[in-house]
Amino acid sequence: MTGQPHRVAGAYRLRRLRTTEHFFTVPLDHADPGGETLEVFARDYSSLEHDDDSASRLPWLLFLQGGPGGRGNRVTSLSGWMKEAAKSFRILMLDQRGTGLSAPVNRQTLPLRGGAAEQADYLTRFRADSIVRDAELIRRQLGSGPWSIFGQSYGGFCALTYLSLAPEGLQEVLITGGLAPLAGGADRVYRATFPRVEARNREYFDRYPQDRERVTAVARHLDAVPEYLPSGERLTTGRFQMAGQFLGGNTRVDALHYLLEDAFVQTPTGQRLSDTFLEQVATLVSRATNPLYALMHESIYAQGEATNWAAWRVLGDFPQFAPEAAEPLLTGEMIYPWYFEQDPALVPLREVADLLAAKSDWPALYDLSRLAGNTVPVAAAVYRDDIYVERGLSLETAGQVNGLQVWETDEFHHDGIADDGEAIFARLLGMVRN
C-alpha cells in the first residue's frame, strides 16, 4: 500500500463525550496488499468522566453494526449500551467498507468501476471477510493488542467470521441477535424466517385487531388507485408490505399502529392515502441510504453456492405474503428482485444485483474447525422470537462454537439493544468475564 495508513481527521468534545475521527488505508483486496486501496473511516467515542490521559489508555471496543450496508452510529451523547460500554472502553464506531465515509457504494459511485460486470466484481470484496480483515489492519494501526468486539445483527455475523479468520486479534466477543447459520445457504434461512414473520404478524393483529382490516384496505386501495410517494414513484402493495420492518422491534411494533392510523383521508375525489402516511412510508421503502443492503443481503449467507434470489423463490411456498393475497401479511428483511424495478435508488443497479445473485463461487465465511476449537470468550443474546435471525438456527450455531455462552430471552426482539442496551451489554460482558 502507498500513502499514510492512518490519519486523524479531527477531535471534538460533545455533551459528556469526546470523539476523534480516523481514516485508515486498507487494500481493496486483502489477498493483494500491494494493489488498489480504499479509505475506511471510523470514529471513536469516550466518556469525559475519564480524563484525557485515562481515556487514551482505555482498552478498545470495536462495534460492528447491523446491515449489511449500515454505517456506524453517529451519536451526540452517550446513552444505552454506549453509556455502559464507555465506563470501561474506548468505543470505535466503524463505517464498514461501502458505507458512510468508507468508499460509499451506491448508484452514483458504482459506475466509476465500469459496467455491471466490473461493478459486481468490485462488490465481491465487500462481505464480512473483507470487513474483518479491515478491522484487523485497523487494530494494528492503532497499536492495540487483542481487543473486544460487540456485534449487533449482521455485526454478529462479522464477529463469527472474525473468530474464524483472526481469533488472535480478539480479547472477548459480545453478540446480540447475530448468530448466523454456519451452513445451509440462504434458502434455509428464509424457510425458517418466513414462519417467524407470519407468527409476528398474527401476534400484531391480535394486539391491534383493527389493523388487520387497515392493512388489507391499504393493499386493495393501492391495487386500484395510483398513489405516489413524495419522490415521485408509484407506491405498490409489495413496497407497502415492507412496513413489516416494524415487527422486528419491541416498541417499534407499536409505532406501526401509529403509522397505519394515519393511512386514509377523505378528499373531493374520494378516499386517498394521506400525505402524512405517504411521507412516513417513503422512508421505510427506499434503499437510497443503504443500497448495499439490497445488493449484498443474500450474499451474507452464501458460501460456495449461488443464492439466485432465494427469498423470492421461497416466497412461492408462503402465498400468504404475496401482494395479491386476500389478506396479505407484512414482510420482514427479505429482498426481492422487483425492488430493483421500483426503487429509484436501485433501478440502475438491477443488472449488478442479478450478477451477484447468480455468483456461485463465494468463498467460505467461517472456519468450522477453528470455531469448534475456539478459546476466545464469547457471549450471545438469542432472542426467542427474532424474525430476522431465527432462534433455532442461532442455537445450532452456538453449539458449534466452543465455549460460546448463550443468554436466550423472550423479553426482547431483534433490536433489543435499542430498548435496554445498558442492561444487555452489562449482562453479556459479565458472562464473558465470569
Verify that 226 and 133 share a domain, yes or no. Answer: no
| Number of other residues whose CB lies within 10 A of the CB of residue 387 | 25
Catalytic position from the list 221, 297, 413, 414: 414
pLDDT value at 330 more than 90:
yes
Cβ atoms of 377 and 172 within 8 Å: the answer is yes
* Average pLDDT value for residue range 306-325: 96
Determine the Cα–Cα distance for residues 267 and 246; give it in Å rounded to an integer: 29
* Average pLDDT value for residue range 174-180: 97
- Residues 211-256 pLDDT 10s: 999 999 999 999 999 999 999 999 999 999 999 999 998 878 899 9
Verify that 133 and 175 share a domain, yes or no. Answer: yes
Q: Which helix or strand (DSSP H or E) is residue 371 part of?
A: helix 368-372
| Residue spans of alpha helices (H) in 86-165 | 116-123, 128-141, 154-165
**Within its chain, how far is the Cα of 416 from the centroid?**
14
160 in any annotated domain: yes
383 in any annotated domain: yes
Verify that 176 and 220 share a domain, yes or no. Answer: no
pTM above 0.75, yes or no: yes
Q: Can you state the angle between helices 185-207 and 252-261, rounded to 10 degrees? A: 60
Q: Which of 316, 335, 358 is the last residue of a domain?
A: 358
Range of the domain at 213: 185-358
Q: Which of 326, 358, 390 is the last residue of a domain?
A: 358
Identify the band that residue 332 occupies on the pLDDT scale cut at 50, 70 and 90. Answer: confident
If one counts the domains in the chain, the total is 2
- Is 43 strand, coil or helix? strand
Domain CATH number, residue 114: 3.40.50.1820
Q: Which of 338, 358, 378 is the last residue of a domain?
A: 358
Residue 361 a catalytic site member = yes
Residue 414 a catalytic site member = yes
Verify that 232 and 301 share a domain, yes or no. Answer: yes
1 in any annotated domain: no
Verify that 370 and 239 share a domain, yes or no. Answer: no
Tell me the C-alpha to C-alpha distance, in Å, between residue 240 and each of 243, 292, 398.
6, 21, 35
Verify that 170 and 293 share a domain, yes or no. Answer: no
Catalytic position from the list 53, 206, 361, 369: 361
Catalytic position from the list 46, 47, 148, 153: 153
Verify that 29 and 128 share a domain, yes or no. Answer: yes
Verify that 178 and 321 share a domain, yes or no. Answer: no
Determine the Cα–Cα distance for residues 162 and 19; give it in Å rounded to an integer: 26
Verify that 126 and 59 share a domain, yes or no. Answer: yes
pLDDT value at residue 297: 97
User: Rg of the chain's alpha carbons, rounded to an integer?
Assistant: 22
Determine the Cα–Cα distance for residues 357 and 204; give it in Å rounded to an integer: 33
52 in any annotated domain: yes
- Residues 2-25 pLDDT 10s: 457 999 999 999 989 999 999 999
pLDDT value at residue 3: 59
Verify that 258 and 125 share a domain, yes or no. Answer: no
Cβ atoms of 372 and 263 within 8 Å: the answer is no
Residue 153 a catalytic site member = yes
Verify that 164 and 21 share a domain, yes or no. Answer: yes
